[in-house]
Structure 1
């Protein structure tokens, strides 16, 4: 998964760089390449990256449940905040 993310990021970065390189000669193609690169960054790479970083974590640890609130209160009392 990490290698796939790196490859996709390099492809997106090269698409945007190519768009900026070609833009002075052909504005329409340059803006198209830049737009495709930015869209792929936000709609393809970013969700894959978020999934990759969060797939082995428990969402319960980050939710404010009664148990977690009680645990935070106890830790606060122990540290005398």
Structure 2
């Protein structure tokens, strides 16, 4: 999965570079189309794969605002009085 994401990221960089090159040298409309497709590919394919890869195996409840986590943050139970 890691290598797939790296290859897709390299393709995105190449797409952006070729889009700006085509836009400045060949055809402005075609360059805009290449940039647009590259951005859509990044948002709908690369980012979800990256987020899935990075969050796999983690507990999502640790990152949510639940009553327990809010109590830990506000330190209502005074477990650590030295931090204040």
Which TM-score band (shorter chain)? 0.7 to 0.9
Distance across 1 between alignment mates of 2:79 and 2:53? 33
Structure 1 partner of 2:46: 45
SS of equivalent residue, structure 1 residue 53: helix
- Given the two structures, how large is their TM-score scaled by the length of structure 1? 0.81
C-alpha RMSD of the superposition: 1.9
Distance across 2 between alignment mates of 1:59 and 1:35? 33
Q: Which runs of 5+ in 2 are unaligned?
A: none
Distance across 2 between alignment mates of 1:43 and 1:33? 15
Q: Which runs of 5+ in 1 are unaligned?
A: none
**Mapping of 1:8-47 within 5 angstroms?**
8-23=8-23, 24-47=25-48
Distance across 2 between alignment mates of 1:7 and 1:21? 21
- Given the two structures, how large is their TM-score scaled by the length of structure 2? 0.79
SS of equivalent residue, structure 1 residue 31: helix
Matched, 1:79 2:82: yes
Q: Which runs of 4+ in 1 moved over 6 A?
A: none
